[in-house]
Amino acid sequence: METLIPQVSTRDLALVLFKRKWSITVIVLVTMIAAVFWLFVMRDEQYTVSTRVLVKLGREQAPPPSVMGASPMVIAYRSQDLNSEIEIFRNLETIGRVVDKYHLDRPLPDPVPTNLFERVKLWNKKITRTLKGAYEEALIRMGFRERLTPREKTVYGLALGLAVKAEKDSNVFEADLTLPYRKGTAEVLNALLDEYLAYRQQIYKSKEAAFFKTEVDSAASKLQGADATVQKFEDASDISSLQKQETVLVDNVASAHAAWKEADATRQEYEGRIHRLDEELAKDDPNFARIAEFGHEGFQQTTVNQLAELQREREKLRLTELDSGDKIRNNRQQAQALATMLAGNMRTAYAEVAQQTEIRRKAYESLDDQLKQLHEKEAQWTQLKRNERDYEDDYLLFRKKLEESRANAGMELLQISNVAVIERASDPLMASGMRKTTILGLALLAAVLAALSWVTIAEFFDNRVYRIEELEKIVPVRVLASIPAGVRLMPASLARRKAKTPHVYGFSQ
């Protein structure tokens, strides 16, 4: 069965390789020379240093003093906290502070070469930097790239060379920094680590102390103002012991009210007696016994007794005398004079009693007004004392929080943290990446592949005939002879002259 795929023997492959031996040699040689030149002259060695940090539970996860009520309990560690620490470590602001602190944006002086190889290498680096600078300047002028300051370039380069990753199933993250310097890379990473530790302290640093200090001062000022207001109110209101003053005033009000009612009852009694006296005086034959009994020996009771005695005498005289007689008329005149005197005395006594009643009433009303004012002052005083207690409670609360905040700040000064550095960075012993022998081996493999590719392409497009078998496959005639490559043929005219018989080189019919 025939196949469309051409059959190639090992002899054919060897012939093709032999035929292209110089091309293969050139390709492999040029590739290896370029690889060696790039590897030892142009290529900058990259050095990687590492540091490892343990993140554990610490005071940063504790509730701040500003949290009121019961403190929440933390019972587990979250992966978000570890990722947060990683983001804090590799933020550009931290890198920028390290660049500014150590002036990393300033160009370093070129090393002094000690041999020809180092001079060539340094010269090549200068040319490369010049070409890169011209290329970047061209891109900037064409608008394809923004112009960056040396500091921005340095920060960007450090950010590209810094790799931070979390270890699996642990609270540890590892930071790797890759730079083209064997000495100094570890110092840069350690500086980043120190700046991270300081920066995270600023992030987690509690700022409640200043707030609570302000609130304590404000509460103390308000409390002093409330105390002064209460004292001023007590002095103005003459308040020393409010409850005792109220008790005494209530007793005085009760006594004044009783005295007023007693005086008013006496006034009413005198008013009734005067009214009855006027009624009796309006009669022709008054009966002064209806006035009242005064209850004690005095002018009024004596006068009433005298009037009663005159009335008894008048009744006796009526037995012997007429009502128009001189004795009875004299008796009536005496009785009229005594009645007038009694009426005047009773009205004077009534006026005195009425005056005393009015005085006692006013005294009662005054004391009652004082009691009402005291009650109003008590309400105001109670409100002032309530405000004073509120200010005092605020002051005590903020004072307690201020002490907690200061204690927290004291812990911060002691650098109590939830981060522990397990391993600091140290200068690397070898360059990172693949070894030079491995790179040379890969370059050799690439050179061989490139040579084989070139042989394949060249053989595909080469239509020349190199062997008799190939010629016989193309032209169905027998080959009489072949001339090796590189043999010079004499001209045909010269050959005919030398030959006795004509002879044709080439193909026979």
Confidence band, pLDDT 50/70/90 cuts, at residue 24: confident
DSSP collapsed to 3 states, 236-273: HHCCCCHHHHHHHHHHHHHHHHHHHHHHHHHHHHHHHH
Question: What is the predicted pLDDT for the residue at 500?
Answer: 46
CB atoms within 10 A of CB 124: 13
Q: Which has more pLDDT, 297 or 456? A: 456
Position of tokens 């370093």?
108
> C-alpha 459: how far from its chain's center?
74
* Angle of helix 185-204 versus helix 92-102 axis, rounded to 10: 120
Return the pLDDT at 481: 66
Q: Is the pLDDT of residue 45 over 60?
A: yes
Burial class (CB in 10 A: 0-12, 13-18, 19+), 95: buried
Residue 21 has pLDDT above 50, yes or no: yes
In degrees, rounded to 5, the angle at the alpha carbon of residue 238 between the alpha carbons of residues 235 and 239 is 90
Q: Which pLDDT score, from 0 to 100, does residue 508 have?
A: 37
Under DSSP, is residue 386 helix (H, G, I), strand (E, B) or coil? Answer: helix
Average pLDDT of span 224-250: 79
DSSP secondary structure string for all residues of 102-171: HTTTSPPPPPPP-SHHHHHHHHHHHHHHHHHHHHHHHHHHHTSS----HHHHHHHHHHHHEEEEEPTTSS
User: Which one, of 65, 82, 69, 88, lies nearest residue 410 by Cα?
Assistant: 65
For residues 78 and 60, give the distance between their C-alpha atoms in angstroms, rounded to a whole number: 13
Confidence of residue 466 (pLDDT cuts 50, 70, 90): low
- What pLDDT sits at residue 312? 75
Residue 1 has pLDDT above 50, yes or no: no
Instruction: Kindly tell me if the per-residue pLDDT of 341 is higher than 50.
Output: yes
Of 72-81, 122-131, 362-371, 458-467, which has the strongest mean pLDDT? 362-371
Higher pLDDT, 307 or 291: 307
Contacts with 60 (C-beta within 8 Å, 6 or more apart), sequence order = 204, 417, 418
- Give the DSSP H or E segment for 353: helix 326-413
Between CA 132 and CA 130 the distance in angstroms is 5
- Nearby residues of 88 by Cβ (< 8 Å), 6 or more positions away: 94, 196, 199, 200, 203
Residue 503, pLDDT > 50, answer no
Measured in whole angstroms, the distance separating CA 316 from the mean position of its chain's CA atoms is 118
Lowest mean pLDDT among 1-5, 79-83, 105-109, 347-351: 1-5
The domain spans of the chain are 40-208+414-444, 229-410, 475-509
Q: Which residue, among 234, 99, 231, 209, has the nearest Cα to 158 in the 3D structure?
A: 99
Cβ contact 208:387 at 8 Å = no
**Under a CB-based contact definition with an 8 Å cutoff, are residues 53 and 420 in contact?**
yes
Confidence (pTM): 0.52
CA–CA distance, 11 with 213 (Å, rounded to integer): 96
- CA angle (425 as vertex; 421, 428 as ends), nearest 5: 155
* Per-residue pLDDT at 418 exceeds 60: yes
Average pLDDT over residues 183-189: 86
Asked if residue 175 has pLDDT above 80, the reply is: yes
The predicted structure's pLDDT at residue 501: 42
pLDDT of residue 488: 54
Q: Which among 314, 506, 405, 443 has a CA at the least distance from the CA of 43?
A: 443
Could you tell me the pLDDT band of residue 38, with boundaries at 50, 70 and 90?
confident
User: Per residue in 476-500, pLDDT tens?
Assistant: 767 666 666 555 555 555 555 554 4
**Is residue 52 within 8 Å of residue 115, measured between CB atoms?**
no
Q: Is the pLDDT of residue 201 over 50?
A: yes
Assign 505 a pLDDT band (cuts: 50, 70, 90): very low
**What integer best gives the mean pLDDT of the chain?**
76
Mean pLDDT confidence for 210-216: 83
Confidence of residue 76 (pLDDT cuts 50, 70, 90): very low
CA proximity to 186, closest of 49, 52, 44: 49
Angle at 283 between CA 280 and CA 289, to 5 degrees: 35
Q: Which residues of 458-478 are buried (b: 16+ CB within 10 A; e: fewer)?
A: eeeeeeeeeeeeeeeeeeeee
pLDDT band at 428 (very low <50, low <70, confident <90, very high): confident
Q: What is the band of 153 on the pLDDT scale with cuts at 50, 70, 90?
A: confident
> How many whole angstroms separate alpha carbon 355 and alpha carbon 264?
10
Other CB atoms within a 10 A radius of the CB of residue 115 amount to 8
Strands across the sheet containing 172-179: 162-166, 172-179, 47-55, 419-423
**Whether residue 258 has pLDDT greater than 50:** yes
Q: Compute CA distances 260 → 84, 113, 255, 338, whole Å.
A: 86, 124, 9, 32
76 phi, psi to nearest 5 deg: -155, 160
